[in-house]
A and B are shown apart, each in its own frame.
Chain A
């Protein structure tokens, strides 16, 4: 299948004669996006994997049944399903288990490659090269995910200033670590 096919065409092909290939491409394309959403909202690798599986099953079922009326809105449809599923997961863990069991045979979420290992020693040096305030903001922000309001008190700065310092520090760290812009 042409991997450049757009979302709308992909949605149309699912449920057609070429559906199986289209479904594989759909999973390849959407699974990493769903998983990122899950990591952000569920803060747990296993839960993010469960969400990925569940959203793929739910959306595929809808696509096979031609329930998506505007195929060009496939990405929004998947995102909306993510939002609903996370709400549902939080409300009812039991229901999640039942759905996963029901669609076990259809589980098509590709295995996600582990992220490339970060050079911890290089990161330590990069952190030590930041100014004291930048380092304090970055470490305390990411260590216990504190808000700008929390840090503003400790640093005797405004929340806006804390945000500016955090943004500057993240850019410096990425640059120091050799990340692409």
Chain B
């Protein structure tokens, strides 16, 4: 099973997504009906797509999401726990066994920001993780951060501080907003990090 002109997996993904122009789609289909190696690649791409979809539905990814993403999740019956904070805001929060997705809407003024990082800090403000160059829609008044619900459900009571930071070309940083989450545990399990 050899192929002299294998189709790029990314093009196969475009084919799967119906994102190819008709002439290119026809050419891909002609090839797939003559080449089992590329067919196997397409199956890999489909498996990858399904895997990503399952992880997204499980809410187990830390990432920035869009309103449309949340609307779609809600329309599919996923339960979304949502908190909205202004810059400098604090919130008492939790997650229950019934929640599928856990998100925070963090308001900020992104004027003049060319790159925005999201810094995840512990209760002392010490950075634990950074999401660099997060997607921020032009003219947006905030971002929607999805925390891993799998992680949050296992988390004992704690405080997390999130910071949105504008980063300039020289690496200089400007704080756009700080958001404090006081997480209390509603699921059975350890009450604090110390008791783990």
* Interface residue B90 (Cβ < 8 Å from any Cβ of A): no
* Interface residue B186 (Cβ < 8 Å from any Cβ of A): no
Residues of A within 8 A of B17 (CB): 141, 145, 147
With A136-B63, A143-B69 known to touch, is A118 a contact of B132 (CB < 8 Å)?
no
**A140 and B65 contacting across the interface, CB-CB below 8 Å:** yes
* Interface residue B10 (Cβ < 8 Å from any Cβ of A): yes
The answer for the CA separation of A144 and B65 in the assembled complex, in Å, is 12
The one of B33, B47, B132 that contacts A33, using a Cβ cutoff of 8 Å: B33
| B134-142, B156-164, B176-184 - the one binding chain A | B134-142
With A132-B133, A156-B137 known to touch, is A174 a contact of B48 (CB < 8 Å)?
yes
Question: What band does the interface of chain B fall in when counting residues whose beta carbon is under 8 Å from A?
Answer: 35 or more
With A123-B55, A132-B132 known to touch, is A75 a contact of B64 (CB < 8 Å)?
no
Q: Binding site of A, secondary structure by majority: helix, strand, loop or mixed? A: helix
Q: Give the tally of cross-chain contacts (CB within 8 A).
A: 135
**A37 and B55 contacting across the interface, CB-CB below 8 Å:** no
**B135 and A173 contacting across the interface, CB-CB below 8 Å:** no
The answer for the CA separation of A7 and B36 in the assembled complex, in Å, is 13
B58 to chain A, nearest CB (A): 8
Q: Which residues of A contact B (CB under 8 A)?
A: 32-33, 36-37, 39-40, 75-76, 78-79, 115-116, 118, 120, 123-124, 127-128, 131-133, 135-136, 138-148, 150, 153-156, 163, 166-168, 170-171, 173-174, 177, 179
